[in-house]
A = this chain, B = another copy of it.
Amino acid sequence: MTSSPGCSRTRPLRLQQVQRWDIETDVVVIGFGAAGACAAIEAARAGAKVTLFEVAAGSGGTSALSGGEIYFGGNGGTPIQRTAGFSDDTEDLFKYLMLAGGPNADEAKVRLYADNSLRHFDWLVGQGVQYKNSFIPQRIVEPTTDDCLIWSGSEEAWPFVEQARPCPRGHTPQFMGMGGGRYLMDVLTQRVHDAGVDVRCNARALALIADEYNAVHGVVVRIDGSERCVRARRGVVLCAGGFVMNREMVKRHAPHLLRSQHPIGAVDDGSGILLGQSVGGATINMSEGFVTLPWYPPESLIKGIFVNEQGQRFINEDCYHGRVSQHILQQRGNRIFLLVDGASYGEPEFGKFANIEIGGTGETWEEVEKELDLPEGTLTATVALYNRYAAQGRDPLFRKAAKWLSPLVQPPFVALDCRIDHCFYASFTLGGLDTLPTGEVLNADREPIAGLYAAGRTACGLPRWGAGYSSGMSLGDATFFGRQAGSSVAARSSG
């Protein structure tokens, strides 16, 4: 390795060590998921020569593993929201995203996204992404049909509903069945090629090339077993995903996520984040992650109540499944049950896939308590209290909305077993490089690092709080801020 002595994803190759440029381009994009695709498209259309490196054999990344759903709204609503009878106000979208972002929400990013979400929808449609003009009012995880609009977050649930007028905002492409993420990526991939981007797959970014002041001038890439020094005259955009598959890194930063044995990622080995850190990029929110068990549909299960190992309730069950699951992970102990009665029970749609089984049944709640071997008087007291208020249409403890409240009084009674170490709790990370809305990577004093940009899960964007996550936020963030980064880097004068 004569061209890059001692460099690695955590040690940049210094500019003066570069012996020759094997490839010269204006913009380097690393990673061919949704963020990288959108960054490449915008940079190329702005006139930059763009080279995209992807470690896998083709496009997709973690985006292609998703349902393809994007969180759109505001500005009166998308055509699909309006047809479904919703006029979504920009301020409601803004407030919802601020709350969803948690205590460290990025107001500048949320503002830009909320103001431009509708234009971004139009842009994606312009790329060829098709959406059916249809709405599924029932609470589901993602459409198994080719339908579009769903309630994909906690919009109607406390405390969100108190701060922002609820509106369904999850938009899934017109693709039959689940897996719309692959469809979305196929469309974007075609646009990347149309835009003239030089795409190099099976190419691993090994190190950044930076001068002694950490300004980024390129990247060392391994292609066909040999290392090439790639000059990026305007800048490098890191779109290499998060770090959920790097279990050592998860242990160091977000050890609670190790309880989920189902990390969701294509590569997501943290290399994008590490590359950014190697030139002084600051990471934020590294302890946050998304965790979920797809415990509904059917939505009748939302009428049930979750209890922990102490037989206590802990959440309004009408929240988004990810928010509920985040709270599940905070409970003491591993055992978690969803209690339903004869009126509310329905076999969980993903029950088999998610390993949700029946943990106990009974003609009385006392029998269920006993069968679950919970201390006498725990589960039964919880159900009694819940039923007492549910009969009045109230949930003074956790504020589940009235439409989901009905006393659990019709036998047989069922406890669904949602044990953390047994069921399918999927997870991915939400921490990453601190960036401006332009995609510029910041150091720990929030000063931009010349020539370095990031988007998607390599950066810390709109989704940054497990308890606030809503389906469609990641792809919304990746596509929108991928575009911002592509436009910004293309506009930069050559380094």
Contact = CB atoms under 8 A, between A and B. Distances in A.
B385 A397 contact: no
Q: Which of A396, A444, A447: most chain B Cβ within 10 A?
A: A444
A260 interface: no
Contact of A377 (B10, B258, B284, B388): B388
B377 A385 contact: yes
Contacts of A378: 385, 397
B10 A103 contact: no
A437 B313 CA distance: 43
B287 A277 contact: no
A9 interface: yes
Contact of A277 (B6, B377, B444): B444
A165 interface: no
Contact of A10 (B104, B280, B310, B389): B280
Contacts of A6: 213
Interface stretch (A113-121, A247-255, A336-344): A247-255
A381 interface: yes
Given A11-B213, A310-B397, A378-B397, A287 B287 contact: yes
A330 B326 CA distance: 12
B277 A278 contact: no
A447 B255 CA distance: 21
Interface in A340-396: 375, 377-378, 381, 385, 388-389, 396
A16 to B, nearest CB: 8
A396 B375 contact: yes
Contacts of A314: 332
12 contacts: A10-B280, A10-B445, A11-B214, A11-B280, A11-B443, A104-B252, A253-B285, A277-B443, A278-B280, A280-B280, A286-B287, A381-B385
Interface of A: 6, 8-11, 14, 16, 102-104, 212-214, 249, 251-253, 255-256, 258, 274, 277-278, 280, 282-288, 310-314, 330, 332, 375, 377-378, 381, 385, 388-389, 396-398, 434, 443-445, 447
A-B interface, 6 closest residue pairs, ranked by CB to CB distance from nearest: A103-B255, A287-B287, A375-B396, A10-B445, A212-B212, A310-B397
